[in-house]
Amino acid sequence: MTTSNTTVVTTTANNAMIAVPDMTALACSEGMNVSGRVFYSCLAKIQGQVPFDPAWANGTGYYDSACKLMLPVGTWGWSHDIATNRYIILIGTRFGAVAVFERYRHGSKAPVIVCNVPRKGYTIWQTAGLNSQLGERVLTHVLGDPEFPTIAPNIGMTIETMSRLFLKSE
């Protein structure tokens, strides 16, 4: 992986070279809204790329089937839908992956960040506020901070902690 002023060049599984914008610079860019700052700051810290599967797309701009991925609980991954030029953050939970992503084409200073959640665990998702456009507060709790996971855990880690606490109390 090599870095230039505004892009990171990475190699995909089939050795194709793709240029990925420098998400840290994007998060700090003048005029970026708060949701964009939170989303791109987290995206910049995620190491693991998950190859994008076009089957995730449901035809309406959402990635319902990405939630069927079973990533290790509490792990972060990122993916890029080249066809729509949108970035996706995937978070492993015991129910499947939570997919947090740009609703519209990448590049806006006011990105709309939304999510898809696994069908299982519906009450948890509704309680956590994962039902539509995500604001700063919900985004911060869902994404956590990959650089400081013990201080700022993601939703997958939080669910596991809550499960252990509830099971101990019975």
DSSP 37-101: HHHHHHHHH---B----GGG--SSS--GGGGG--PPTT-EEEEEETTTTEEEEEEEETTEEEEEE
pLDDT of residue 1: 33
- Tokens read off for 5: 């002023």
pLDDT of residue 141: 84
Whether 98 contacts 72, CB under 8 Å? no
Q: Pick the range with the lowest mean pLDDT from 18-32, 44-58, 65-79, 139-153.
A: 18-32
Helix (H, G, I), strand (E, B) or coil at 113: strand
Strand partners, 97: 92
**Average pLDDT for 34-54:** 90
Helix (H, G, I), strand (E, B) or coil at 159: helix
91-149 per-position pLDDT tens digit: 999 999 999 999 988 777 888 999 999 988 877 887 777 767 888 888 888 888 888 87
Question: From its phi and psi, is residue 49 left (phi > 0), alpha (psi between -120 and 50) or beta?
Answer: beta
Helix (H, G, I), strand (E, B) or coil at 123: helix
pLDDT above 60 for 9: no
pLDDT above 60 for 7: no
**Average pLDDT for 20-46:** 83
Whether 108 contacts 40, CB under 8 Å? no
Question: From its phi and psi, is residue 70 left (phi > 0), alpha (psi between -120 and 50) or beta?
Answer: beta
Q: Check residue 164 and report its DSSP letter.
A: H
Q: Where are the beta strands (DSSP E) in 82-162?
A: 86-93, 96-102, 113-116
Q: What is the residue whose two structure tokens read 């939703």? A: 155
Q: How far is CA 16 from CA 11, 13, 71, in A?
A: 6, 7, 24
